[in-house]
């Protein structure tokens, strides 16, 4: 149990409670939601093994679900992006590769790289979430619109958080 993993566990709970106690009430125009807790999952260290990633994703999603009254939904979306994360990280490797023990954050490789890395994953997460919640593709247009707006909102909030606390979790 070194210092880094204690910090990780601590920030797990900070992200979780910030999400369920504060951001749960923040919804713009009944369509744009903010799921900042995804940032925690995206910024886990690069060399975390895939099984651990999915385990943490499941735990985070399940905990959020308890508060959101939607058991299984967030867990499903989180496990999905945690599975895709390593493939995506490998295909967007920045020049010079990853340092050992680095976490894929804004401070590591700049805004542009971070957007390319985070945006698609956040979008996949939101799509999985909203389409499962709607119970299929009955309201395709509206659900997609919800997912797009929420992705933008979440990304803006993640960027703000990253600029406010740069490199805090490196």
* Contact in structure between 124 and 76 (CB atoms under 8 Å): no
Q: Which two tokens stand for residue 98?
A: 């990853």
Smallest distance from another protein to CB 78, Å: 9
* Contact in structure between 57 and 79 (CB atoms under 8 Å): yes
Query: Which residues in the 88-107 window bind another protein by CB under 8 A?
Result: none
Instruction: Give whole-number Cα distances, 158 to 37, 43, 161, in Å.
Output: 9, 11, 5
Using CB under 8 A, count the residues that bind another protein: 33
Choose which of 11, 18, 48, 67 interacts with another protein (CB under 8 A): 67
34 binds another protein (CB under 8 A): no
149 binds another protein (CB under 8 A): no
DSSP 3-state of 38 = helix
137 binds another protein (CB under 8 A): no
Residue 11 CA to residue 19 CA, distance in Å, equals 12
Helix runs in 46-139, H state only: 50-68, 73-91, 106-134
3 binds another protein (CB under 8 A): no
30 binds another protein (CB under 8 A): yes
Closer residue to another protein in complex, CB, 58/98 = 58
Binding site for another protein (CB under 8 A): 20-21, 25, 27, 30-31, 33, 50-51, 54, 58, 61, 65-73, 75-76, 79-80, 83, 130, 132-135, 139, 142
């Amino acid at each position: 149990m070194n210092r880094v993993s204690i910090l990780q566990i601590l920030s797990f709970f900070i992200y979780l409670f910030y999400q369920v106690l504060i951001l749960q009430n923040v919804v713009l125009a009944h369509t744009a939601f903010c799921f900042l807790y995804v940032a925690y999952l995206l910024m886990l260290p690069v060399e975390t093994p895939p099984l651990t990633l999915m385990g943490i994703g499941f735990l985070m999603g399940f905990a959020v679900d308890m508060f959101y009254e939607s058991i299984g939904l967030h867990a499903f979306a989180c496990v999905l992006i945690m599975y895709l994360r390593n493939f995506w990280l490998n295909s967007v490797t920045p020049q010079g590769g990853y340092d050992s023990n680095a976490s894929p954050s804004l401070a590591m490789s700049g805004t542009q790289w971070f957007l390319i890395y985070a945006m698609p994953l956040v979008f996949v997460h939101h799509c999985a979430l909203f389409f499962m919640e709607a119970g299929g593709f009955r309201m395709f247009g509206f659900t997609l619109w919800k997912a797009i707006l929420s992705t933008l909102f979440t990304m803006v909030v993640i960027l703000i958080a990253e600029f406010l606390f740069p490199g805090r979790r490196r």
